[in-house]
Chain A
């Protein structure tokens, strides 16, 4: 006779994990798989080099960390060498008057995984943020990236972050990774959005 377990396991709800940022790795720095500890917060992370994936360690379990990919808030923009792509920034802020360094980048339009920045397509800009005693929507700040003579014919993704910490947290010091932001047109000329608008009898 086969015995079946009795009783109910009950409902298993989602874990209430805190918001944890993705560790920032300096460009060119190569990390081995293993555990890493944030010296500021003491938070432990695990990095899988083969997958290029960070994990948050909680109660002995690993939870993957990532900045999400989202579609561009604007229609894809065709750009040629010499054009400038403007990132119009928005965020809510409470605190004293501060100046923060913002870093914007255009990169491969991979739509998933980590963000591969294109060389020559990054800009750092200091932005002064006024003191606010209540959470206030801050708009009107922007970063411009001039279009270089490389990656012609490719679609570009983009994101922006604040250079103020050891980890990146979406919405706090990093925007989502936006795909289908722009298309770099070939210098020799390229026809885009080619199609027949209508057929008429003549």
Chain B
């Protein structure tokens, strides 16, 4: 059985963006979207499983699902979207994802393990010394 993870994206700033993404401020909530393609010549039921870990190695999202009927045709794609979680720790967040086919005999057809994103401390906007430096006639 063959299949391919064709897109790995984050819902960041209300836009789906390919990850890894860098320097996301803390406090941001994101969702993961994985799109898998059926490389077989027959219809297949696609499945997914992923785990997101924070910079301390703690699991922050564990997601798994099998697609529901109708299944994915030959050469077609199916998307899986997670529930979302807040990026509340500074550092590197990791994703470990497996794309499956055939729930009666689950077979891993593609996988990815690596950086999901890096998170930096949120910058709180602050203004000081606000003044008019000069007035002029124009």
Residue interface mask B95-138, A partner, CB < 8 A = 1: 00000000000000000000000000001111111111111111
Name the contact of A158 in the complex, choosing from B126, B128, B135 (C-beta under 8 A).
B135
Interface of A is mostly: strand
Q: Are B138 and A171 in contact (CB under 8 A)?
A: no
State whether the Cβ of B25 lies closer than 8 Å to any Cβ in chain A: yes
Interface size on A, residues (CB 8 A): 40
Residues of A with C-beta under 8 A to B128: 91-92, 135, 171-172
Stretch from A2-10, A29-37, A44-52, A94-102 at the B interface: A94-102
Interface flag for A66 (CB, 8 Å): no
Q: What residues of B have a CB within 8 angstroms of the CB of A93 in the complex?
A: 125-127
Interface of B is mostly: strand
Contact status B132-A79, CB under 8 Å: no
B136 touches A74 (CB 8 A): yes
Q: Are A73 and B134 in contact (CB under 8 A)?
A: yes
Which residues of chain A are near B124, meaning CB under 8 Å? 95
B125 cross-chain contacts in A, Cβ below 8 A: 93-96, 98
A193 → B minimal CB distance (Å): 15
Q: Are B129 and A92 in contact (CB under 8 A)?
A: yes
Task: Decide if B132 touches A87 in the complex (CB within 8 Å).
Answer: yes
Within 8 A of A (CB), among B9-59: 25
- Cα–Cα, bound, A84→B138 (Å): 5
User: A79 to nearest B CB, angstroms?
Assistant: 6
The CA-CA distance from A87 to B127 in the complex, in Å, is: 18
Nearest Cβ distance between residue B6 and chain A, in whole angstroms? 32
User: What is the minimal beta-carbon distance from A165 to any residue of chain B, in angstroms?
Assistant: 11
- The 7 nearest A-B residue pairs measured at CB: A95-B125, A91-B130, A90-B133, A74-B135, A92-B128, A95-B123, A74-B134
Can you sample 5 A-B contacts with CB below 8 Å? A85-B135, A90-B132, A91-B127, A162-B127, A171-B131
